[in-house]
Structure 1
Amino acid sequence: MNVSAADNFRVMLYDASFPPYFFDKEDPRTGIVKDLFSAFGKETGDTFEYVRVPFKRALHQFDSGQIDIEPMSNPAWRGDSAVLGEYSIPMGVSELIVLFNADKYLPIESPKDLTGRTIGVVMGYYYPSFAPYFEDGSIKPHVLPSDAKLIQLLEAGRLDQAIMNKDFALYQIKEKRLHGKLKLSRPCSALDMMVRFHPSKKDAIPRFNKAIRKLLDDGTIKRIYDQYR
């Protein structure tokens, strides 16, 4: 650990809850993001201050340098940002799945298999593999304000299927005891998850990369993810 190079970083978390990655401010549970950064800090000597603001404001504060780190990101998500950022090596994978009301389950190999259906999506999210089908109208997006609202409508039978993060879906099924009521598709896409740094903090990337390699090799990162699955 090179404590002389350590820094305090402002890390975006948003003001909403997105379990198992992070929970509400008042919730005693830590979540994957805080657990990962706690492990990183033990290796790098860095400390972290979590900034909870709405999603769009968080991205603006990153662009302006008020936030130093987006904890889990990929360049494919931020290509239109004013400040692209600098990235660590991958530490995990974010998989998108289609979550079905079990009565409406359809085995799918590609988005094309959902032609003619309406599918729940979250406002402001981009779904690359589905975008062409939304644009030509062969699949109709039903736009909702949050992933939690997608779960609520699926559970109530008011929505047949929705696109969402696999870890979020599995956590909701586990916590709400929805086994048998909701069913996951095979992953539709997968993106490497990396730490996104504001360019002013890019000197920290080598020590974070070293920490990530160690924590991947010794199984720490896998154990963190597994405790929420």
Structure 2
Amino acid sequence: MRTLAVLLLLFVPLAFAGDRPVRFSVIEGWAMPLAQIDEGRLTGGILFDLFDALTKKAGIQADYRLLPRARVAQALESHDIDVRCYISPTWLEQPFPDYRWSVPLLTQRDLLVSRDDQATDLGGLSRQTIGTVLGYRYPPLQPLLDSGQIRRDDARTQELVLKKLEIGRYRYAVSSELALHWFNRALPEKQQLHPVAQLDQTDLSCMVLDDPQVPTRALLDALAALKQSGDIERILAHYR
């Protein structure tokens, strides 16, 4: 009887740890088609659909944590979030050894966008102001920014960047391919924005906290299964 009581005391904390919702980071600056955020809550978009499919596949509950982009690194350091998605190791300014990487899940293409459809290159951007998203790093543009040849004009979300381009606040902006296609869906053909150069292409993954309270292996396996089955591509196709 005494042995049974000891075993129960050992089991209860483990069961409680396994039942804790998994904390997903949600960035305040995300916009459609990546994410729809209403009154501080993630309610739709590509990442909502991905998280929903992941929680069902792994058999977990999700706790979405809305964070300013500038606070995400601190949240990773303090283990306040368990899963961060739509991220690449090349985008991080520091390593986070307590997190494990999933397989690559999708590819982001960063485009230089204009109201005109005339192709250009970085050499033709001298003295231009470029529409950019606050907090984003753009490695192909960094040498031009550092030398003062071009300037950034930051907006809080990708959608706001493209709206400012549409009304003529600047001649060029940077946009992901997915965001550009989504934005153009609401515009007449003659008013649509055009990609004039590809700046970068990056494979994106999720990073998962390696901790006894987190079903790390189950989450990584579920993400790999969603990729292999074509479920992620089907989610993306819905927003193209």
Shared fold by TM > 0.5? Answer: yes
Amino acid at match of 1:140: R
Q: Distance in 1 between matches of 2:92 and 2:27?
A: 16
Verify: 1:120 aligned to 2:134, yes or no.
no
SS at match of 2:72: helix
Match in the other structure for 2:26: 13
Q: Determine the structure 1 residue equivalent to 2:118.
A: 106
Which deviates the most, 159-168 or 75-84?
A: 75-84
**Match for residue 203 of structure 2 among 177, 192, 196:** 192
Q: Per the alignment, do residues 60 and 178 of structure 1 end up closer, same or farther by CA in structure 2, a change over 3 Å counting?
A: farther
TM-superposition CA deviations, 1:15-41 (whole Å, max 9, x none): 344111111235895111111122122
For residues 90-128 of structure 1, give each alpha carbon's deviation from its aligned partner in whole angstroms, at most 9, with x where no partner exists. 1111111111123xx4313x4234334321122321101
- Residue 86 of structure 1: how far off its partner (Å): 2.5
- The structural deviation recorded for 1:83 is 6.5
**Aligned residue runs from structure 1 range 151-170, under 5 A:** 151-170=162-181
Match of 2:82 in 1: 68
SS of alignment partner, residue 36 of structure 2: coil
Residues 1:225 and 1:17: Cα distance change in structure 2 (over 3 Å): same
Q: Name the residue aligned to 1:134.
A: 145
The 2-side partners of 1:135 and 1:84 are apart by 33
| Cα offsets for 1:163-201 (capped at 9, x unmatched) | 122211211111x32533211234321111111123437
Q: Could you list the runs of 5+ residues in structure 2 that have no partner in the other structure?
A: 1-16
> What is the TM-score with the length of structure 1 in the denominator?
0.83
Local SS of the residue matching 2:67:
coil
Contact in 1 for aligned 2:24/2:82 (Cα 8 Å): yes
Are the counterparts in 1 of residues 20 and 213 from structure 2 also a CA contact under 8 Å? Answer: no
TM-score when normalising by structure 2? 0.80
Q: CA deviation at 1:140?
A: 2.9
- 202-211 or 84-93: which moved more? 202-211
1:88 is the counterpart of 2:102: yes
Instruction: Say if 1:199 and 1:207 are closer, same or farther in 2 by CA, change over 3 A.
Output: closer
Write out aligned runs for 1:211-222 (5 A): 211-222=222-233
1:97 aligned to 70, 93, 111, which one? 111
2:218 aligned partner: 207
> Which one has the bigger strand percentage?
2
